[in-house]
A and B are shown apart, each in its own frame.
Chain A
């Protein structure tokens, strides 16, 4: 049936835009579409976590904090990516904890095991720049580009 994909616009220089950050924003009328890259799936997932926190809070000092374990089962890498980002978002929104260290220890098409370093959200030190309502499944893509991996995720903001 009919399905659509977001395409990177011609001339988008991912390497340039991602020199400092592991993601770039793509045009999407209603919400926020984010393109993330990584050298392999594990790197991609860790970068996706960093991207979410950067979009929400900007630069956060990587303070040493307690660790938080995540263990997820999913249908495929796309499902796992949405769930993974959903967990990081819930920690921020529901538990008021910012993930600052992202360590994916095990990743297959159906299972993810990771440890996050977290610090408490402190309104005096941290400012939420973008309120992310949710990470959506809409047009989610995880793609092996040969020399790197790439994901496109739409966040409801």
Chain B
């Protein structure tokens, strides 16, 4: 199927309404990136999303868009709360997969002599890789509390500090969670995985602030060139996967009764106002909370390991949470649509919330600067800190990209990496890597991803989020 794209300006491409599409598609991309986007079927997925009931504005896609299942990864879609749907496929299996960035008082030169030891110590302290189990052993009752309270539960147990919650999207607790709607299977899969990084594209990275683009915002975020930062990318593990799976099945079965015609079975959804729609929102909130608790615990493990490994005190380390963002979620938010303030259910699948300066959803500490937006790249290049830009609410329902985005399938990446020592290649570029699985290293080679700098440039130029600083990896743990 050939999609007709109309270039609107340097950074926006329109897919005009056709067939059963209820709204047009709108892709944020440069001319260079759109060539890669056109290679897979993600644009067809943008048009499929545009057919769903109650969609408002556009079926949006960020410049890191790539082919997902059902919704494209990098897709954003807002639905009317009365007429619209909620779709587990619009959130993804890894509910509240997200990023957490910690700043420190350390400068890179101070840790370089001990970097290898620090990485090894982190590799031992932070459970990673397939089938890893956590340092936290939950009872069923405690798992229920995690699902209800999120990061606040972890802080109550001594993982981190209360001020971390203010610097976490939604304070690390999504309202409306109801563990009574969860299956036994979801509870079982989640019980031993809290406090684990996971596998695949999940990682932990020690970085250095390599370049500051906006000094004023960088000051507000307490970032300076040469500073050591740590980025964590993880999600809700098997708990979230099972919740998505359970509800996809149930929604698929109830589709005929809801009279929703779908172009792809994986888009299974329910009306937001229906009992099933409300139950999914409650279950999804449980997984979102699990993920925030997970990243809160992982941060604390990193904090303790830095102190122990570098033999320094908490003050000298100065580790603070900059911000925690989720990038697989659906949330009921207030937006202005056609001149009226309305409640919309915004699905962000592989997209980050990006609130502009002054928005009440931003912690007071950063309100003048805009919400921190964290964009990880591949393990060989850069990650970026951005800030929500004025106009993002109107242009993208307050959303930005979430990463580099794959251009190569996993099997293609493994083939490309055949015979190469990826560890050594990265080390030659000044990046130490430890990984649980050899295959993961090959699947995650830098060439498998788009150039994150180009992706970030699009959201900056399009006015979705403003570039603040660039982070260079020093040492990486891959799951």
Contact pattern, B 28-64, Cβ under 8 Å of A = 1, otherwise 0: 0000000000001110100110010000000000000
Give the distance to chain A from B109, nearest Cβ to Cβ, in Å.
Answer: 37
With a cutoff of 8 Å between Cβ atoms, the chain A residues found around residue B20 in the complex are: 1
With a cutoff of 8 Å between Cβ atoms, the chain A residues found around residue B68 in the complex are: 30-31, 138
Q: Find out whether the CB atom of A94 lies under 8 angstroms from the CB atom of B407.
A: no
Bound state CA distance, A79 and B252, in angstroms? 9
Contact pattern, B 182-216, Cβ under 8 Å of A = 1, otherwise 0: 00010011000000001110000000000000000
Q: Which residue of A lies closest to B94 (CB)?
A: A133
B66: Cβ under 8 A from any A Cβ:
yes
Bound state CA distance, A15 and B118, in angstroms? 49
Q: Find out whether the CB atom of A134 lies under 8 angstroms from the CB atom of B241.
A: yes
Option from A1, A75, A83, A154 in Cβ contact (under 8 Å) with B48:
A1
Q: Find out whether the CB atom of B1 lies under 8 angstroms from the CB atom of A2.
A: yes
A27: Cβ under 8 A from any B Cβ:
yes
Bound state CA distance, A128 and B133, in angstroms? 13
With a cutoff of 8 Å between Cβ atoms, the chain B residues found around residue A1 in the complex are: 19-20, 48, 51, 261, 263
Q: Which of B429-446 contact A (CB under 8 A)?
A: 437, 439
Which of A28, A121, A133, A137 has the most chain B CB within a 10 Å cutoff? A133
With a cutoff of 8 Å between Cβ atoms, the chain B residues found around residue A2 in the complex are: 1, 19, 44, 47-48, 263
Q: Find out whether the CB atom of B411 lies under 8 angstroms from the CB atom of A31.
A: no
Q: Take A4-B44, A156-B69 as given contacts and tell me if A139 and B410 are in contact as well, using a CB distance cutoff of 8 Å.
A: no
B242: Cβ under 8 A from any A Cβ:
yes
**Residue total for B at the interface (Cβ-Cβ under 8 A):** 51
Q: Which residue of B lies closest to A90 (CB)?
A: B185
A130: Cβ under 8 A from any B Cβ:
yes
B372: Cβ under 8 A from any A Cβ:
no
B421: Cβ under 8 A from any A Cβ:
no
Q: Which of A80-97 contact B (CB under 8 A)?
A: 83, 86, 90, 93-95
With a cutoff of 8 Å between Cβ atoms, the chain A residues found around residue B335 in the complex are: none
Q: List the count of A-B residue pairs having beta carbons below 8 Å apart.
A: 113
Give the distance to chain B from A68, nearest Cβ to Cβ, in Å.
Answer: 15
Q: Which of B139-156 contact A (CB under 8 A)?
A: none
Bound state CA distance, A31 and B94, in angstroms? 13
Q: Take A1-B51, A128-B130, A131-B130 as given contacts and tell me if A27 and B412 are in contact as well, using a CB distance cutoff of 8 Å.
A: yes
Q: Find out whether the CB atom of A94 lies under 8 angstroms from the CB atom of B242.
A: yes
Option from B41, B89, B130, B437 in Cβ contact (under 8 Å) with A4:
B41
Q: Which of A60-105 contact B (CB under 8 A)?
A: 75, 78-79, 83, 86, 90, 93-95
Contact pattern, A 94-127, Cβ under 8 Å of B = 1, otherwise 0: 1100000000000000000000000001010000
Bound state CA distance, A90 and B186, in angstroms? 10
Bound state CA distance, A28 and B68, in angstroms? 9
Give the distance to chain A from B378, nearest Cβ to Cβ, in Å.
Answer: 14
Q: Find out whether the CB atom of B131 lies under 8 angstroms from the CB atom of A30.
A: no
Q: Find out whether the CB atom of B439 lies under 8 angstroms from the CB atom of A30.
A: no
Bound state CA distance, A29 and B89, in angstroms? 17
Q: Find out whether the CB atom of B66 lies under 8 angstroms from the CB atom of A29.
A: yes
Q: Which residue of B lies closest to A157 (CB)?
A: B200
A142: Cβ under 8 A from any B Cβ:
no
Option from B69, B253, B408 in Cβ contact (under 8 Å) with A136:
B69
Q: Which of A129-151 contact B (CB under 8 A)?
A: 129-131, 133-134, 136-140
Bound state CA distance, A30 and B41, in angstroms? 11
Q: Which residue of A lies closest to B252 (CB)?
A: A137
Q: Which residue of A lies closest to B202 (CB)?
A: A131
B406: Cβ under 8 A from any A Cβ:
yes
B245: Cβ under 8 A from any A Cβ:
yes
Give the distance to chain A from B286, nearest Cβ to Cβ, in Å.
Answer: 16
Q: Find out whether the CB atom of A4 lies under 8 angstroms from the CB atom of B69.
A: no
Q: Which residue of B lies closest to A89 (CB)?
A: B245
A-B contact pairs, 18 of them (CB 8 A): A1-B20, A1-B261, A2-B47, A2-B263, A29-B40, A30-B68, A30-B69, A31-B68, A86-B245, A90-B189, A94-B185, A94-B189, A94-B238, A94-B242, A95-B188, A129-B439, A138-B264, A156-B241
For the complex of A and B, the 3 pairs showing the least CB-CB separation, nearest first, are: A138-B69, A138-B266, A137-B265
